[in-house]
């Protein structure tokens, strides 16, 4: 290899490292609040609904804006969009760190979503333009997927480390210096390329997509409310349906639609999108419920809880680059189906593993690692398949489709499994007859954290009985969520594998 070739080679990997730093921030922010949620809830006096919207405002905004912003990068250049997104992300992180109420934090999380929506398609489009060799690109995308998996799983660990010394706002404040360094590195080392061209910015379509996602998440969460209203549920579903119809009609009228829906006619592409969406939904649901269980039931400190979840990130980081090479030697659908099956079996094992079994801690860590490996394979399959399906001039559009899958999956995981957790917890709690006669217990039926605060105000024997009931109910809710995640992954893997009969991989 000549000196010039060596320099060019190292430059490619440097570009990958710089874009991966932005991706790492984005993915950490998807999960960093799971461990910080109990402390945040106490500081801001946030109710159950506010907590879920604090978690969901970020992925909903990202998913809603991604198609339009991906096209904007195709039209005006992905480096410019990436730098702008970094600046917005940094400013929003500072606002979130200083938030004094749940409403302000929800707004700051939405602003974080705007910055992330600018950066995410740009990272993949820059990688696609930088790595022109298909084999090298598959390996680079495997590394990208590993960073994404590690970021999502490392979010709780970072929160645990920060919360040992600082207030909950530190989980956002840490983003600011990283953003500054990434901005300087991007401007200095990432080459400026001529924008390949793309459709015009569609503000109306982006707002319609945001409306659809918000209404859909509201509809999913409504059944878990104590004052559930069929009228509100029906109105949310009607609004979501109308938004979908308007969005599709608007896209059909555009000369260059933001999303090429004809790609979904290919079973392999549709399977990759399903893998991205539902794989992420299950992973988010698992981390959401386990991080709370470890702190509220097992009474672990935030850092100790995060360390239990660490095998997810370590396994994902190691397995994703290897999965990129695996996809070159095996049928993609077979690899994705196998990854989801492995993740489903390990998650079901987590649900059914009794705490009294010998080596319980070691077995739980092993099952979490197996889950991380399975999801890393799935995410790599989704990234590689979707990015290789689109022509180079629509790299931003392809990246947007992929990231919509990941972010919608994240929002779906919080809404769906957050609701499953609340319903299972409330249902099991009501099975204890004495609960209904206790003072102040009404507000504790949706939240173990609130129940423990109520129990602390009661006489010793009564408070202990209430705590025991709450712990038993939340343990049952944990099993319900984990089994739900396992069934979701199993069904998705079977569907992707079955599509092999329709079209060769």
User: Is 116 within 8 Å of 69 (Cβ atoms)?
Assistant: no
- pLDDT band at residue 401 using 50, 70 and 90 as cut-offs: confident
Q: Is 199 left (phi over 0), alpha (psi -120 to 50) or beta?
A: beta
> DSSP labels for 320-388?
HHHHHHHHHHS-HHHHHHHHHHHHHHHHHHHHH--TTSTTHHHHHHHHHHHHHHHHHHHHHHHHHHHHH
Closest CA to 152 of 306, 7, 359, 15: 306
The more confidently predicted of residues 443 and 488 is: 488
The pLDDT of residue 115: 92
- pLDDT band at residue 495 using 50, 70 and 90 as cut-offs: confident
Closest CA to 406 of 432, 425, 378, 427: 378
Q: Any idea which of 14-18, 357-361, 450-454, 470-474 has the lowest mean pLDDT?
A: 450-454
Q: Which class is domain 3-202+254-428+474-501?
A: mainly alpha
70 burial level (CB within 10 Å; 0-12, 13-18, 19+): buried
- pLDDT band at residue 347 using 50, 70 and 90 as cut-offs: very high
Q: Could you say which DSSP state residue 202 is in?
A: -
Beta carbons within 8 Å of 49's beta carbon, 6+ residues apart: 221, 225
Mean pLDDT of 281-307: 87
Q: What Cα–Cα distance (Å) separates residue 220 from each residue in 162, 346, 378, 445?
A: 32, 26, 25, 19
> What is the b/e burial string over 273-295, where b = at least 16 CB atoms within 10 angstroms of the residue's CB?
bbbbbbbbbbbbbbbbbbbbbbb
The pLDDT of residue 135: 76
Find tokens 């981390």 and name the residue: 287
The pLDDT of residue 355 is above 90: no
pLDDT digit string (tens) for 254-279? 776 766 677 777 777 778 888 888 98
The pLDDT of residue 4: 37
The pLDDT of residue 328: 58
Three-class SS state of 156: helix
The pLDDT of residue 139: 79
Find tokens 């400190």 and name the residue: 301
User: Is 142 within 8 Å of 99 (Cβ atoms)?
Assistant: no
Closest CA to 374 of 350, 344, 405, 408: 344
How far is Cα 176 from Cα 157, in angstroms, rounded to an integer? 18
The more confidently predicted of residues 499 and 19 is: 19
The pLDDT of residue 3: 38
Three-class SS state of 169: coil
Three-class SS state of 300: coil
Closest CA to 226 of 457, 450, 484: 450
User: Is 138 within 8 Å of 30 (Cβ atoms)?
Assistant: no
What does pTM read for this prediction? Answer: 0.77
Give the chain's end-to-end CA distance (angstroms, integer). 35
Q: Any idea which of 113-127, 283-297, 315-329 has the lowest mean pLDDT?
A: 315-329
The pLDDT of residue 108: 94
The pLDDT of residue 44: 85
Please write down the HEC assignment for all residues of 406-467: HHHHHHHHHHHHHHHHHHHHHHHHCCCHHHHHCCCCHHHCCCHHHHHHHHHCCCHHHHHHHH
The pLDDT of residue 364: 92
| Structure-block tokens of residue 430 | 């009501």
The more confidently predicted of residues 208 and 1 is: 208
227 burial level (CB within 10 Å; 0-12, 13-18, 19+): exposed
The more confidently predicted of residues 150 and 271 is: 271
> Domain boundaries in the chain?
3-202+254-428+474-501, 205-253
Q: Is 101 left (phi over 0), alpha (psi -120 to 50) or beta?
A: beta
Chain-centroid distance of CA 267 in Å reads 24
Q: What Cα–Cα distance (Å) separates residue 424 from each residue in 96, 179, 202, 224, 342?
A: 31, 40, 41, 9, 26
- pLDDT band at residue 426 using 50, 70 and 90 as cut-offs: confident
User: Is 387 within 8 Å of 129 (Cβ atoms)?
Assistant: no
How far is Cα 86 from Cα 22, in angstroms, rounded to an integer? 7
pLDDT digit string (tens) for 28-78? 887 788 788 888 888 888 777 788 788 888 888 888 887 777 667 667 777
The more confidently predicted of residues 317 and 284 is: 284
Q: What Cα–Cα distance (Å) separates residue 88 from each residue in 94, 119, 144?
A: 10, 10, 22
The pLDDT of residue 246: 86
- pLDDT band at residue 381 using 50, 70 and 90 as cut-offs: confident
pLDDT digit string (tens) for 303-312? 888 888 888 8
| Structure-block tokens of residue 440 | 């102040």
**What average pLDDT does the structure give for the chain?**
80
How far is Cα 378 from Cα 370, in angstroms, rounded to an integer? 13
How far is Cα 295 from Cα 288, in angstroms, rounded to an integer? 11
The pLDDT of residue 2 is above 60: no
How far is Cα 105 from Cα 54, in angstroms, rounded to an integer? 7
Q: What Cα–Cα distance (Å) separates residue 422 from each residue in 48, 295, 476?
A: 9, 17, 11
The pLDDT of residue 93: 93
The pLDDT of residue 390: 62
The more confidently predicted of residues 94 and 443 is: 94
What proportion of the chain, given as a percentage, has pLDDT over 70? 84
Beta carbons within 8 Å of 27's beta carbon, 6+ residues apart: 147, 148, 149, 150, 151, 152, 155
pLDDT digit string (tens) for 433-468? 666 556 556 666 667 877 787 777 778 887 888 888
């Amino acid at each position: 290899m000549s000196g010039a070739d060596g320099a060019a080679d190292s430059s490619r990997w440097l570009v990958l490292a710089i874009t991966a730093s932005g991706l790492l921030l984005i993915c950490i922010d998807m999960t960093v609040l799971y461990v910080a949620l109990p402390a945040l809830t106490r500081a801001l006096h946030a109710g159950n609904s506010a907590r879920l919207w604090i978690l969901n405002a970020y992925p909903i905004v990202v998913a809603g804006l991604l198609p339009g912003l991906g096209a904007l990068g195709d039209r005006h250049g992905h480096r410019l969009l990436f730098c702008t997104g970094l600046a917005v992300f940094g400013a929003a992180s500072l606002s979130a760190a200083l938030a004094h109420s749940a409403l302000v934090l929800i707004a700051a999380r939405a602003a974080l979503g705007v910055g992330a929506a600018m950066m995410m398609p740009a990272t993949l489009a820059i990688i696609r333009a930088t790595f022109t060799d298909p084999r090298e690109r598959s390996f680079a995308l495997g590394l990208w997927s590993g960073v994404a998996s590690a970021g999502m799983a490392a979010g709780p660990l970072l929160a645990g480390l920060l919360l040992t010394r600082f207030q909950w706002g530190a989980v956002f404040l840490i983003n600011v210096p990283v953003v500054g360094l990434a901005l300087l590195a991007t401007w200095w080392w990432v080459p400026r390329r001529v924008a390949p061209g793309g459709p015009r910015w569609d503000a109306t379509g982006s707002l319609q997509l945001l409306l659809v996602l918000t209404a859909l998440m509201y509809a999913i969460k409504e059944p878990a409310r104590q004052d559930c209203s069929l009228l509100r549920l029906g109105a949310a579903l009607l609004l979501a349906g109308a938004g979908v119809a308007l969005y599709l009609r608007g896209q059909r009228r555009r000369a260059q639609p933001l999303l090429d829906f004809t790609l979904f006619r290919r079973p392999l592409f549709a399977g990759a999108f399903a893998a991205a969406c539902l794989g992420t939904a299950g992973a988010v649901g698992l981390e959401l419920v386990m991080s709370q269980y470890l702190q509220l039931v097992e009474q672990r400190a935030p850092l100790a809880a995060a360390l239990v979840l660490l095998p997810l990130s370590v396994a994902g980081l190691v397995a994703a680059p290897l999965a990129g090479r695996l996809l070159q030697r095996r049928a993609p659908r077979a690899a994705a189906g196998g990854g989801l099956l492995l993740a489903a079996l390990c998650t079901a094992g987590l649900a059914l593993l009794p705490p009294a079994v010998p080596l319980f801690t070691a077995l739980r860590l092993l099952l979490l690692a197996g889950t991380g490996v399975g999801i890393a394979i799935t995410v790599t399959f989704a990234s590689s398949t979707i990015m290789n399906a689109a022509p180079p001039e629509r790299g931003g559009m392809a990246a947007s489709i992929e990231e919509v899958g990941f972010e919608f999956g994240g929002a779906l995981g919080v809404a769906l499994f957050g609701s499953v957790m609340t319903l299972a917890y409330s249902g099991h709690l009501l099975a204890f007859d004495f609960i209904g006669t206790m003072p102040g217990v009404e507000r504790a039926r949706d939240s173990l954290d609130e129940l423990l605060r109520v129990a602390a105000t009661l006489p010793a024997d009564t408070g202990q009985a209430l705590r025991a009931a709450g712990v038993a109910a939340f343990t049952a809710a944990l099993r319900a969520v984990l089994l739900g995640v396992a069934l979701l992954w199993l069904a998705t893997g079977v569907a992707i594998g079955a599509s092999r009969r329709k079209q060769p991989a």
